[in-house]
Amino acid sequence: MTNLIEQHRPRTLDEVRTLSELFSWRVAQTPQGDAYLQYDEAAGSWTPVSWQAMGERVERMALALESLQLQRGARIAILLPNGLDAVCVDQAALALACVPVPLHALDNPASIAYILDDSETSILVAQSMAQWQAIAGTGVALPSLQHVIIVEPIPHTPPAAGEGSPVLPISPVSPIPLGDLLAATAAAGSAPATRRPPEPDELAALVYTSGTTGKPKGVMLTHDNVLENVKATYQRVTPFPEDVFLSFLPLSHTFERTGGYYLPIASGSCVAHARSVALLSEDMLTVRPTILISVPRIYERVYSVLKGMLAASALKSRLFQWTQAVGWRRFCRLQGLPVEGNVPAALDELAWPLLDKLVATPLRARFGGRLRVAVSGGAALSTPIAHCFIGLGLPILQGYGMTETSPVVAANALDDNDPVTIGRPLAGVEVRIGDNQELQVRSRSVMRGYWKREADTAAAFIDGWLRTGDQASIVNGRIRILGRLKEIIVTSTGEKIAPADLELAITSDPLFEQAYAFGDNRPFIACIVVLSRSGWERLAAGLNLAPEAPDSLLAPSACKAVLQRIRELTRSFPHYAQPRAVALTLEPWTSENTLMTPTLKLKRNNLAAHFAADIEQLYRR
């Protein structure tokens, strides 16, 4: 531990200059404080891990990696689920002045192999031997790869008859069990070498963009980039040492790295890594987080469940709507926002305690019952969902950012929250509106550039300002995102439509899990929707269709009923923006089937290719 903590001893957060220094500073500040909650499978409970214990684990990991004689600046790829191992490898790499390359654990092997090759990674740390075999099986040559470290025990038994031979790696690398490497380093009894800590302008991460179109690009983020963003975010949304974060977004996502990983280190807060998305609801109830960093999809799912439950009872639905309306008016008065209607404030205050007890408190209990900050980013949160949760007392703060800005550009605050906007720019972040209403950014948090892509880097900037590719407006200092420049649909009639707005409106109905709107160079807008299975069963029954029969999804009566529902949901849009044709499916779009990015954005090019025949059929009709 001595080597990690005594590299530099900043006295305050403002004096911290690098991410490795940030971790050392935190260990020294609150060594006995709870850093993480780790789930104990045997006991079925969460066990706290102190900052001092984490510091010791990181130092052991650093010694193990150091024994592999890495060059300064070597790339270390991390293919691990959220957890202590991922944190330790990341911090060890930073302490050695190496560059973490975070990989999404559920990404497809071909994409991972591409990133390993493009980044010229020296070391891959993977969770399982199966992951490495799948990567090797892609046939991509990895000449820079020197070592593969596997966290789980490596099975040594040959495959059973009929299972085939094990996949042999393309690169001449023999995987090393992490346990063996740590044990060998401990047995050697080596003392920490005198390390030259990283400098603020050296790379702290090579984060590959999701690649909604084309190949992923490696975003070069320096220690100064990320730390500047952490400090600015800390000013806007200030966590306390007693706060508990629940981390479930992948650490390959810059939003989670800054907001759910480095920010709690800065504040000394505790982090619990959710066991899985499938167990997220259970983990919320047991961990009872006070801060949640999330993408809109989580709130959409809860909202969909609520709407489905309320559909069965008119009385419960009216009570729910009343509670939401009263809560929303109270919120608007508190924030100084316009209040709809003429209901006296005193009447709302009189009704709220009972409505809160009957309706709002049970909803908040679904999130553990003590959330004081719920951050939503990565994509737009629809207005009805924002109004619903905020009205029921769940303090959702929308923000905006991108990998290239480390990532937060703007965010709302608890005492300055207008949910139809993404808030005000963080301290030290300059914004402006350029041509075509494009939002442009300039700050110390902006990336150095794209790895080995000088032309792409040059194209990303104009006069020193980063081009976000998002259209926006700025009113009274608050930013409102209007749409994505590259995603704007231009129909053959010359009309321009932002598909994301349409898709948000459609998925506000619990019948629709996902929606994809299109119509570029076509005479009208159409869409493909993923139906919820329970909603489809009810709809099919009402139409006398067999819900389990694939042909039922093609039935004209089903398409007509769904299209009518979509037209009602989009009636506030101009006539030319409302979908006039629809195709139905029950198969969800995921990152595994390459139709979504790891950060849950639609891969529009992939969707267009996947549904090419269906799209042609829609327009032939």
Q: How confident is the model over 484-533, as pLDDT tens digits?
A: 787 778 787 767 787 888 998 999 899 999 999 999 888 899 999 999 99
Average pLDDT over residues 441-461: 97
d(CA 267, CA 240) in angstroms, rounded, equals 6
Q: What is the pLDDT of residues 96-108, one digit of tens each?
A: 999 999 998 877 8
Beta bridge partner(s), residue 78:
102, 125
Note the pLDDT of residue 298. Answer: 84
Note the pLDDT of residue 202. Answer: 98
Note the pLDDT of residue 6. Answer: 47
Closest alpha carbon to 429 in 413, 444, 439, 448 = 444
Continuous segment of H or E residues that includes residue 466: strand 465-475
d(CA 152, CA 156) in angstroms, rounded, equals 12
Cβ neighbors of 455 (< 8 A, separation 6 or more) are none
Q: Residue 389 corresponds to which tokens in the numbers above? A: 């949760």
Cβ neighbors of 9 (< 8 A, separation 6 or more) are 25, 28
pTM of this structure: 0.82
Domains located in the chain, CATH noted: 2-155+166-199+237-291 (3.40.50.980), 488-620 (3.30.300.30)
* Portion of the chain with pLDDT greater than 70, in percent: 94
Is the previous residue joined to 155 through a cis bond, with omega within 30 degrees of 0?
no
Closest alpha carbon to 81 in 238, 320, 249 = 249
Note the pLDDT of residue 77. Answer: 98
User: The sheet that has 176-177: what strands, in order across it?
Assistant: 99-102, 75-79, 123-126, 147-150, 176-177
Least confident span in 176-190, 418-432, 513-527, 557-571:
176-190
Neighbours of 133 (CB within 10 A): 16
Q: Judge contact between 102 and 76, C-beta under 8 A.
A: no
Closest alpha carbon to 148 in 165, 161, 130 = 130
Cβ neighbors of 139 (< 8 A, separation 6 or more) are 170
